[in-house]
């Protein structure tokens, strides 16, 4: 926190004393919906004239008539699964239309803009959140996935700035300032990094109750996510953007009654002992509450709003048409203001040719890839042919003759609804091997690997069939 900001935050600190004393037990459900445990605190942090709705959300009307709804503030949390200051990075996809637009804001009356100094750090944080999103898409059984973001003319994540000209760091004030600076496209998810703090609070996200599974869902309309400086490099930016995109809907499995979840080490969850997840941060641990890139029939996310659905306009999936290269986009001008690949297993042997029963299943299952006589041959195997349902396991793909084919792409396909569909594409390492880590969210499944035609001398190659049955 900037030294001079202490004076500005004094009033807020007094009002937030209950939240600081009760931080170990505090949850949005208690603060938002039980006035005895913090409704005054929540409404102070929201600013404006918030109206508590029957569904537990707050409605705020801004001076220009814009209405937003939110569950309230997300508190500062420490401990496992809250930090995202390091880790793998993956560039999001540059796009226009329905995109994330990253913004930097500062309190103009107590500090000057540090946009140039912090821009690269903010970009790195966005790339880390995108890497976590992509990991969730692959491990839930889908294809690669990337946030669609607004970029500058050089292809970098665009970070624009504006100033909060009031002394209060309230959610309403900051969103008002963003809109007055011209950042009010109804198709954009604005992710604001605010260069100041609010005691005890990490941020806010806009959120709408709407469980409809299609693109008409109101969470496809864009919104405003806000992260205070003390939480920039935690899970909070991804958390608030998750709210903007509609996580977590009431009635979802493991939803906790406050539009969060009970999986503990999870981007959208708060600490819970009821359903603890692994010690590494995940974007929907279990892939059954708000994100699943490949839900199966009968699962809640197959028939309700799912951030991992192709209906989500703010994420590009690997099997979706790539956006055209966007032209340089002139964002609104604010008013003048003072990894390495996993090690392969040793010498895998080629998969035997399919048996007659396998061929019969393929014939019944629908069209196969167009495979001619090939060299090199493609292989597929797993060390865990009977994984535990719901647990991760590894499938290994390879070429038997590697020279000159390093770095080319190989596909993992899974049979669904009678036809093979692409699960993911991966680049082969220097030994022409790649390991795909995925989650066994099925009783039985059939996989195969395909290496597409590279030139006139090397035709498409498909492996034999790999059958997996869970236990």
DSSP conformation letters of 120-183: HHHHHHHHHHHHHHHHHHHHTT---EEEEE-B-TTSSBPEEEEEE-SS---HHHHHHHHHHTT-
User: The domain 356-469: what is its CATH number?
Assistant: 2.60.40.10
429 vs 433: CA distance, rounded Å: 6
User: What residue ranges do the domains of the chain occupy?
Assistant: 5-317, 356-469
Order of strands, sheet of 433-439, starting from the edge strand that comes earlier in the sequence: 378-382, 392-399, 433-439
Residue with tokens 């008002």: 176
Beta bridge partners of 146: 316
Residue 93 DSSP SS3: strand
Per-residue pLDDT of the chain (471 residues; tens, 9 = 90+): 443 334 334 444 433 433 333 333 333 443 343 332 367 778 889 998 899 999 999 999 998 999 999 999 998 876 666 788 899 999 999 999 999 999 999 999 989 999 999 999 999 999 999 999 999 999 999 999 999 999 999 999 999 999 999 888 999 999 999 999 999 999 999 999 999 999 889 999 999 999 999 999 999 999 999 999 999 999 999 999 999 999 999 999 989 888 999 887 899 988 765 556 767 889 998 899 999 999 999 999 999 999 999 999 999 998 666 555 555 545 555 544 444 334 343 333 333 333 333 332 333 333 444 433 334 688 888 867 788 888 778 898 888 777 777 888 889 999 887 788 888 988 888 778 888 888 888 888 999 999 887 666 667 888 888 889 888
Long-range CB contacts (within 8 A, 24+) of 293-296: 293/136, 293/137, 293/138, 293/140, 293/141, 293/142, 293/143, 293/145, 293/317, 294/140, 294/141, 294/142, 294/423, 294/441, 296/441, 296/442
Q: What is the pLDDT of residue 363?
A: 30
| pTM of the shown model | 0.67
- Residues 68 and 368: their CA atoms lie apart, in Å, by 49
Say which DSSP state 358 is in.
H
* Cβ contacts of 269 within 8 Å, gap of 6 or more: 256, 260, 261, 262, 263, 277, 285
CA dihedral 454, 455, 456, 460 (to 10 degrees): 0
Residues contacting 7, CB < 8 A, separation 6+: none
**Helix 115-139 / helix 236-244 crossing angle, nearest 10 deg:** 70
Q: Which two tokens stand for residue 84?
A: 């995202």
Q: Phi, psi (5° rounding) for residue 454?
A: -100, -35
Instruction: Report the chain's C-alpha Rg in angstroms.
Output: 24
Q: Under DSSP, is residue 8 helix (H, G, I), strand (E, B) or coil? A: helix
End-to-end CA distance of the chain: 52
Integer Cα distance of 97 and 435 in angstroms:
35
Distances (CA, A) of 145 to 152, 198, 312: 21, 33, 11
| Crossing angle between the packed helical segments 5-15 and 39-46, to the nearest 10 degrees | 150
Residues whose CB falls within 8 Å of the CB of residue 20, separated by 6 or more in sequence, listed in order: 199, 200
């Amino acid at each position: 926190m900037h030294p001079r900001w202490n004076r500005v935050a004094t009033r807020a600190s007094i009002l937030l004393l209950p939240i600081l004393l009760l931080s170990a037990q505090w949850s949005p459900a208690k603060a938002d919906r039980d006035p005895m445990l913090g409704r005054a605190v929540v409404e102070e942090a929201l600013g404006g004239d918030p109206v508590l709705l029957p569904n537990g959300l707050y409605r705020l009307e801004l001076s220009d008539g814009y209405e937003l709804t939110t569950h309230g503030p997300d508190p500062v949390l420490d401990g496992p699964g809250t930090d995202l200051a390091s880790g793998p990075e993956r560039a999001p996809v540059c796009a226009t239309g329905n995109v994330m637009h990253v913004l930097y804001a500062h309190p103009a009356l107590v500090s000057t803009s540090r946009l140039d100094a912090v821009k690269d750090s903010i970009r790195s944080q966005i790339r880390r959140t995108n890497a976590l999103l992509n990991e969730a898409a692959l491990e839930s059984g889908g294809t690669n996935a990337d946030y669609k973001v607004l970029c500058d003319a050089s292809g970098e994540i665009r970070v624009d700035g504006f100033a909060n000209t009031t002394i209060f760091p309230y959610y309403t004030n900051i969103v008002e300032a963003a809109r007055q600076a011209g950042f009010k496209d109804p198709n954009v998810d604005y992710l604001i990094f605010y260069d100041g703090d609010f005691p005890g609070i990490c941020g806010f996200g806009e959120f709408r109750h709407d469980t409809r599974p299609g693109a008409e869902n109101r969470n496809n309309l864009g919104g405003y996510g806000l992260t205070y400086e003390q939480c920039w490099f935690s899970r909070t930016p991804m958390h608030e953007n998750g709210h903007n995109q509609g996580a977590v809907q009431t009635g979802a499995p493991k939803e906790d009654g406050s539009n969060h979840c009970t999986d503990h080490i999870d981007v959208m969850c708060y600490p819970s002992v009821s359903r603890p997840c692994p010690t590494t941060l995940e974007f929907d641990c279990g892939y059954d509450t708000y994100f699943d890139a490949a839900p199966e029939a009968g699962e809640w996310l197959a028939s309700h709003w799912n951030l991992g659905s192709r209906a989500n306009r703010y994420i590009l999936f690997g099997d979706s048409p790539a956006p055209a290269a966007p032209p340089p986009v002139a964002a609104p001008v604010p008013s003048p203001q003072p990894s390495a690949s996993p090690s392969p297993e040793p010498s895998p042997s080629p998969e035997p040719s399919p048996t007659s029963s396998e061929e019969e299943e393929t014939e019944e299952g629908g069209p196969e890839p167009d495979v001619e006589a090939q060299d090199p041959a493609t292989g597929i195997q797993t060390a865990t042919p009977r994984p535990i349902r719901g647990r991760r396991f590894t499938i290994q793909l390879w070429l038997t003759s590697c020279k000159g084919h390093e770095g080319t792409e190989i596909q993992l396909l899974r049979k669904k609804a009678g036809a093979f569909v692409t699960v993911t594409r991966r680049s082969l390492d220097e030994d022409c091997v790649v390991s795909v880590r995925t989650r066994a969210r099925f009783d039985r499944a059939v996989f195969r690997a395909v290496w597409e035609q590279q030139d006139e001398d090397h035709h498409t190659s498909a492996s034999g069939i790999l059958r997996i049955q869970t236990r």
